[in-house]
Structure 1
Amino acid sequence: MLSKTRIGNICFYVNDIDRTEKFYRDVMGLQVQRMEAEKDEGDWLLASIENNVDLIFFKAECKPGNSPIIVFDLNEGGIDDMVSDLARQGATIVTPVSHAPGGWSAEFADPDGHVISLYQDAAASRSRR
């Protein structure tokens, strides 16, 4: 089901977005972009690394086990169908398909409770498989 996708993002929840920006920019030497959030969600950070993988940082409660989250890009669409298939096969849906910056996302858990995310750009059809 996910064999034709690629890891597009690794998301981190962080307690302090300013401290995180400084660390990844000044200590790790990454080019970090501050992205303006929609509405009252708060700014978030984007740092691109090799192989078109983005590190994304959101301000949220940071505790062991909830971060980082691996994100699979669904370039061909079909997020609704994929989440339905996962649920039918017994996967625990953590977050149903919902709006995300620039598209839609959904999260499910593996048998050990590790969260895995799916992301679909707004340009891809939500109903396409």
Structure 2
Amino acid sequence: MKLKPKNVSIVFYVSDIARTETFYNQTLGLQLERQEGAEPFWLQAQIENGPDLIFFQMEGKRGDTPAIVFDLDEGGIDDVVAELARQGVNIVTPVSEAPGGWSADFLDPDGFGLGLWQAGELPRSLK
């Protein structure tokens, strides 16, 4: 199995989404787009030639974020997670519903959070 993401996102859990929006828009000059699908809204900044930055307002502790999330463009998230588990990877959150699709979280050997996301219209399994 080789992971072939079409995009990579860095996800942050923040305590105040409005404050985050102001900081990244006004202080840093990044264009953030409000996205629906979570309460409250979530934010996304698409960085040219770089990863997307995504912000969710939710409880988190130091070390939960930022997390790198690989966007699967062909589907098969269930297959990828099953293979990771077969190889002994620590699956933190099994495949579950996420805004616009499906996601799963796992840890690298040093305990850093990684994730997968795929659009809901793609098949969860390719087998």
Provide TM-score, normalisation by structure 1.
0.90
Aligned to 1:104: 102
Task: Tell me if the contact between 2:37 and 2:100 (Cα under 8 Å) persists in the aligned partners.
Answer: no
Q: Which amino acid aligns with 1:31?
A: Q
Q: Which amino acid aligns with 2:16?
A: D
Check if 1:84 corresponds to 2:75. no
Query: What's the RMSD between the two structures over aligned residues?
Result: 1.6
Unmatched runs of 5 consecutive residues or more in structure 1? none
Question: What CA distance in whole angstroms lies between the structure 2 residues aligned with 1:3 and 1:120?
Answer: 13
Aligned to 1:93: 91
Question: What CA distance in whole angstroms lies between the structure 2 residues aligned with 1:3 and 1:93?
Answer: 16
Q: Which amino acid aligns with 2:43?
A: L
Task: Summarize the alignment of residues 20-99 of structure 1 with structure 2, pairs less than 5 Å apart.
Answer: 20-38=20-38, 41-51=39-49, 53-99=51-97
Shift of 1:25: 0.2
Identity of aligned residues (%): 57
Shift of 1:6: 4.1
Aligned to 1:120: 118
Unmatched runs of 5 consecutive residues or more in structure 2? none
Shift of 1:52: 6.1
Task: Tell me if the contact between 1:7 and 1:70 (Cα under 8 Å) persists in the aligned partners.
Answer: no
Structure 2 CA distance for partners of 1:42 and 1:84, relative to 1, 3 Å: same
Shift of 1:24: 0.3
Check if 1:19 corresponds to 2:1. no
Q: Which amino acid aligns with 2:59?
A: E
Question: SS of the counterpart of 1:82?
Answer: helix
Task: Tell me if the contact between 1:15 and 1:59 (Cα under 8 Å) persists in the aligned partners.
Answer: yes
Report which stretch shifted further, 115-124 or 47-56. 47-56
Per-residue CA distance 1:26-82 (angstroms, 9 max, x = gap)? 0110111122234xx321111111126321100112432111110111101110011
